[in-house]
A and B are shown apart, each in its own frame.
Chain A
Amino acid sequence: MFKHLFKLIWNKKKQNFLLMSEILISFLVIFAVFTLMAYYYNNYKKPMGLDYENVWVVNYNNAYATKNTDSLNTYYETMRQTLKAMPQVSELSFCSDNTPFSQNTMQSGMTVKGKKIDHINNFTIEDSYDKTLGLKILEGRWFNKGDAVAKNKPIVINDELREEIFGNEPAVGKLIGDDGDKNKMKIIGVIQGVKVKGDYLPAGFGQYSRADTGSFHWFGKIMIKVTPDADAAFEGHLYKTLANYMKNSDIEIEHLTNKRISTNYFAVVPIIVLTIVSCFLIINVALGLFGVLWYNINKRRGEIGLRRALGATGKSVSGQLVSESMLVATLSLIVGTFFAVQFPLLNVFSLQAGIYITAIILAVIFIYLLVLVCSLYPGKQAAAIYPAVALHEE
């Protein structure tokens, strides 16, 4: 029967062309949606790499306009002591503007052993940064005061960058930097990747450098880990303290939990838009499929009557029409899958092959279900055709 149905469809390929094209385009759109979903889910299930609860971000600017680095360091050290004296402040760290869940990025690239690595996020932070954010050390250690006098600039990298450069080998103690650069940096630790762009986006490559005495000239953020009992009253008190200390500065206090929520919201906007667009497309395809099948049944009433006369049951007629639709879908899906598998094969967008394969499988299942649902009712109608009437109409 399969061969018979295939012949029937193949001999009607011109009539089926539009339907097959429609299914093919739907498959490709659904594949895109599922790829994005699989990508987001794959990122979502990975650990955040930081503890964002009870962490506040203080944004400031123009706090102390001086070119004298010593004065500047003293100014901020005094501020640090003032803040640390507050019972609700557990830990704090001054840092570069690219705090977690912010829109700021500071990226660089390097060529290691001829391999170019782009989009490395550079974080300049203090020794207390790991405790403030609860970072997880996987290998080696975090920064300490002794690093100030190290021969090679010490850095901490994240697991993603370690894997990119060294594969499964340990990284601690190794020197990295551009191939031509004589001032190599020494890796002293590896941390779990921090998903700084929210739950749905990957941690990316991360490189952490210790703030030096000149960093306060351009720093504009303080990460503060507060105790769970730190409330709005404390936030007001903190704000007043900072405003009194940094009189010329615009100060803003944000909660990392809220920033995470808004970052996640912006991350899912594309998928929401794409899903809405694809929903409209799918509704159109479903209606198209339904219409075409309905039309086919009316056009093929004579054939249906004939098949009933020759020994087909109502169920087998219905099954035949559903099978024909599934076969048409299969032909489209073969073509669609051919295009879809090019993405992992050609490493388009540098996503893991597993994400594309998952998306292909889900899109195939979705299209089959769509075609099945759309052909069930017309199939049932076909089964109800009275053979004597249908044969007489022809």
Chain B
Amino acid sequence: MIQLQNIEKVYRTSTVETLALSSISLDIAKGEFLSIMGPSGCGKSTLLNIMGLLDAPSKGQIKIGDQKTENLSDKQLANFRNQKLGFIFQSYHLINDLQVLDNVELPLLYRNSTAKERKALASEALAKVGLANRMKHFPNQLSGGQKQRVAIARAIVGRPEIILADEPTGNLDSAMGNEIMDILMQLNQNDGTTIVMVTHDENMAHKTHRLVRLFDGSQVQ
């Protein structure tokens, strides 16, 4: 589903050159639930951003599905992210000025869907994460776990084939973290969604199909 070949990422300033990722090659199968672990600053999020086409590698190739991504235009990349990928972030990234339902509808705004369709899909996604009764709430009226569930609903509303989760349980206590993890596992098992999750939590990582460890930008496991 996702193929990374010799991915290298170098951050350059006028004086310093920092190697963030070095020769990463990964092949993630369709329906796989993969976790990435490693100490802070080892390049986990950079790798996830590259997989999510939010950042371009300095070297190497990415193939998602049958699509090579290096020559895609800004518009094509945006469209690809919208159709194929769902994102979950540690700090939720909800828009506080929009109600929960509007937050979940966000990815659908960049598609040719009607307001009625958007509402139906968003309601369905919220029901899936157990927040059907919180549609009209604003994010600051929700707990951390609920916010992350909204973020999951937003990630799945467009029915993407891949979900990229950057420390989805990082800001939550263990009980809420487990709840979120259960939702992700259900999505993986029931819908066959491919999930790549960056985590610091060994317990969470061991619940996934495969664990990749990074250290200083290199893959060590």
B-binding residues in A (CB < 8 A):
1, 3-4, 7-8, 11-12, 302-303, 305-316, 386-388, 391-392, 394
Partner of B81 from A7, A311, A315, A316 at Cβ < 8 Å: A311
Q: Is the CB of A8 within 8 A of B54?
A: no
Q: Identify the closest chain B residue to A389 (Cβ).
A: B55
Tell me the smallest distance from the CB of A312 to a CB of chain B, in Å.
6
Q: Check B89–A310 contact: CB distance below 8 A.
A: no
B107 touches A311 (CB 8 A): yes
Residue pair B74, A8 in contact (C-beta under 8 Å): no
Name B48-69 residues within 8 Å CB distance of A: 49, 52, 54-55
Q: Is B29 an interface residue (CB 8 A)?
A: no
Given A388-B49, A394-B93, the answer on whether A310 and B98 have CB atoms closer than 8 Å is: no
Q: Which of B76-105 contact A (CB under 8 A)?
A: 78-79, 81-83, 87, 89, 91, 93, 95, 97-99, 102, 105
- Is B54 a contact partner of A387 (Cβ separation < 8 A)? yes
Cβ-closest chain B residue relative to A392: B45
With A310-B110, A311-B82, A313-B78 as known contacts, state yes or no: A8 contacts B89, CB within 8 Å: no
Q: Which of B99, B105, B107, B109 has the most CB of A within 10 A?
A: B109
Task: Give CA–CA (A310, B87) in the complex, Å.
Answer: 8
In the complex, are the beta carbons of B115 and A314 less than 8 A apart? no
Cα–Cα distance between A7 and B54 once the two chains are bound (Å): 27
Which chain A residue lies CB-closest to B85? A309
A315 to B77, CA, bound (A): 13
CB pair A303–B74 under 8 Å, yes or no, is: no
Is there a chain A Cβ closer than 8 Å to B75's Cβ?
yes
User: Are the C-beta atoms of B78 and A308 separated by less than 8 Å?
Assistant: yes
Contact A309 B110 (CB under 8 A): no
Residues of A close to B89: CB separation below 8 A? 306, 391, 394
When A3-B115, A311-B111, A388-B54 are in contact, do A303 and B78 touch as well, CB less than 8 Å?
A: no
Instruction: Tell me the complex Cα distance, A314–B87, Å.
Output: 18
Min Cβ gap B42→A in Å is 14
The list of the 3 closest CB pairs from A to B, nearest first, reads A311-B82, A311-B110, A388-B55
- Inter-chain contacts of A392 with B (CB < 8 A): 45
- Would you call B106 an interface residue if the criterion is a C-beta within 8 Å of the partner chain's C-beta atoms? yes
Q: Are A310 and B107 interface neighbours, CB within 8 A?
A: yes
Given contacts A302-B93, A311-B107, A391-B93, contact A7 B87 (CB under 8 A): no
Q: Is the CB of B93 within 8 A of A12?
A: no
Does the CB pair B75–A394 fall under 8 Å?
no
CB distance from A22 to the nearest CB of B (A): 20
| Chain B: CB-nearest residue to A313 | B78
Q: Is the CB of B74 within 8 A of A309?
A: no
Measured CA separation A315–B91 after assembly (Å): 26
- Nearest CB on A from B176, distance (A): 20
Our count of residue pairs bridging A and B at CB distance below 8 angstroms stands at: 70
Question: Cβ of A311: which chain B residues have Cβ within 8 Å of it?
Answer: 78-79, 81-83, 107, 110-111
Nearest-neighbour CB distance to chain B for A47, whole angstroms, equals 57
Among A12, A302, A314, contact of B74 (Cβ-Cβ < 8 Å): A314
Q: Does B54 lie within 8 Å of A391, measured CB to CB?
A: yes
Q: Is the CB of A313 within 8 A of B75?
A: yes
Partner of B95, one of A303, A315, A387, A388: A303
Cα-based distance from A355 to B156 in the complex (angstroms): 56
- Residue of B46, B54, B91 touching A308 (CB-CB under 8 A): B54
CB of B95 within 8 A of CB of A4, answer no
- State A4–B54 Cα separation when bound (angstroms): 24
List B103-136 residues whose CB lies under 8 Å from chain A.
105-107, 109-111, 115
| Chain B contacts for A386, CB-based, 8 A | 55
Give me 12 other A-B pairs in contact (C-beta within 8 A), A1-B109, A306-B95 excluded: A3-B115, A4-B109, A8-B95, A11-B98, A310-B81, A310-B106, A310-B110, A310-B154, A311-B79, A311-B110, A316-B110, A394-B93
Cβ–Cβ contact B87 & A309, under 8 A: yes
User: Least Cβ distance of B189 to chain A in Å?
Assistant: 25
Q: Which residue of A lies closest to B97 (CB)?
A: A11
Contact between A7 and B75, CB atoms less than 8 A apart: no
Taken together as a complex, chains A and B put the C-alpha atoms of A308 and B75 apart, in Å, by: 10
Cβ of A195 to closest chain B Cβ, rounded Å? 56
Which chain A residue has the least Cβ–Cβ distance from B86? A310
> Which of chain B's residues have a CB closer than 8 A to the CB of A302?
91, 93
- The smallest beta-carbon distance between B131 and chain A, in angstroms, is 19
Query: What residues of chain B lie closer than 8 Å to A312, measured between beta carbons?
Result: 78, 110
- In the complex, 13 of the A-B residue pairs with CB atoms within 8 angstroms, ordered by the A residue number, are A4-B102, A8-B95, A8-B97, A8-B98, A302-B93, A303-B93, A306-B87, A310-B154, A311-B78, A311-B111, A388-B49, A391-B93, A394-B93
Residues on B with C-beta less than 8 A from A308 are: 54, 78
User: Nearest chain A CB to B167's CB is how many angstroms away?
Assistant: 12
Q: Which residue of A lies closest to B94 (CB)?
A: A306
A240 to chain B, nearest CB (A): 84
> With a CB–CB cut-off of 8 A, which chain B residues contact A313?
74-75, 78
The answer to whether B97 touches A310 (Cβ under 8 A) is no
Distance to closest chain A CB from B137 (angstroms): 13
Chain B residues, Cβ within 8 Å of A7:
98-99, 102
Determine the distance from Cα of A388 to Cα of B154 in the docked complex, in whole angstroms.
Answer: 18
User: Which residues does chain B contribute within 8 Å of A12, judged by CB atoms?
Assistant: 97
- Nearest chain B residue, comparing its CB with the CB of A300: B95
For B79, what are the chain A residues with a Cβ–Cβ distance below 8 Å?
311
User: In whole Å, how far is A199's beta carbon from the nearest beta carbon of chain B?
Assistant: 53
Which residues of A sit under 8 angstroms from B98, Cβ to Cβ?
7-8, 11
User: How far is B107's CA from A1's CA once the two chains are assembled, in angstroms?
Assistant: 11
A316 to B45 CA separation, bound complex (whole angstroms)? 25
